[in-house]
Amino acid sequence: MKILVIGGSGFIGSHIVDAAVTAGHRVRVFDRAQPKFHALPAQVHFMSGSFSDTAMLSEAVSDVDVVVHSLSTTVPGTSNLNPVADIDGNLIGTVQLLEIMRAMNAKRLIFLSSGGTVYGIPKTDPVTEDHPLRPINSYGIVKTAIEQYLHMERHLHGLDYAVLRPSNPYGPRQGHGGVQGVIGTYLWNLARGEQIQLWGDGSVVRDFLHVEDLASLTMLAIDQGLSGCFNAGSGAGHSIRDVIKCIGQVVGKELDPAIHPARRIDVPRIVLDIGKVQNATGWSPTISLSDGVARTWQWVSQQSNETSP
């Protein structure tokens, strides 16, 4: 198949690109710039453009079998700082993408939503896909709205789509700006000799999924024609204190975080039920938290050494 990965230069998208190339698919990437942390495989067709540029996006969508939408201009921790920009960059951009796909007769879309934010504060543990969608930050609200537009597009125009709701992806190529992903942020802090930061008492629980497991699930969604909404997580919860302990074991020292007041945007606990996607595809995550942290630390250390003066 010919696959377009929108956001294919990013953290998650670049791993999806690698998995698609390995599987023998033809791949086109649409993103603002080439990947920061690695080179795209030589056979990948790269197109540079803004998500808001409908002319360039139309060209990117032409003659592809599947569109994978992994792009986001915000992250959960920053989306509330400018909700208007979140809506403009992500919701409006995706609605424009749907209009372009309809015009180009592109019928298949895989959308990366957010299992960590669309449910809000869970009423059940673990959380299944039929849990009410009650997000408490702009990031989750926009992802939820996009899901609703996909439903409308299928009802009115026959769009064939699958929504994957990842929990908390982490792994190599995650940015080091300190706003995307607690594991990556902590590891980059340590590589630079900085103290890690902890908001609250560390009891917040998250479901951490290694990005390579997410990429493999995305490929199954493509290859098996998955349709509907599916959680994508590890199925297990780890507190931030657990993560700090795990990282300390990997790097070989006890960590002493700087403590800050808890944030209202942080859901106290969320663990995803992944039974639906396991039954539908046979997929299960294969990389444990300790192994995943070790792999990520190896990559961060290598990157840090390469960029040191």
Task: Check 139, 161, 170, 186 and give the catalytic one.
Answer: 139
Do the Cβ atoms of 10 and 70 come closer than 8 Å? yes
**Token pair for residue 215?**
């990429």
Do the Cβ atoms of 223 and 185 come closer than 8 Å? no
- Helices 240-251, 289-307: inter-axial angle, 10-degree rounding: 60
Cα three-residue angle 162-165-169, rounded to 5 degrees: 130
Per DSSP, the residues of 168-198 read EEE-TT--SSSSS-HHHHHHHHHHTTPPPEE
**Rounded to an integer, what distance in angstroms lies between the CA atom of residue 118 and that of residue 183?**
21
- Which DSSP state fits 87? I
For residue 161, indicate whether it is catalytic. no
Q: What is the largest CA-CA distance in the chain?
A: 57
Cross-strand pairs, 170: 210
**3-state class of 200 per DSSP?**
coil
CB atoms within 10 A of CB 132: 10
- Helices 182-191, 289-307: inter-axial angle, 10-degree rounding: 40
Closest CA to 2 of 98, 66, 78, 70: 66
Measured torsion, CA atoms of residues 172, 76, 32, 57, in degrees rounded to the nearest 10: 120
**Rounded to an integer, what distance in angstroms lies between the CA atom of residue 108 and that of residue 279?**
22
**Rounded to an integer, what distance in angstroms lies between the CA atom of residue 263 and that of residue 210?**
25
Catalytic annotation, residues:
139
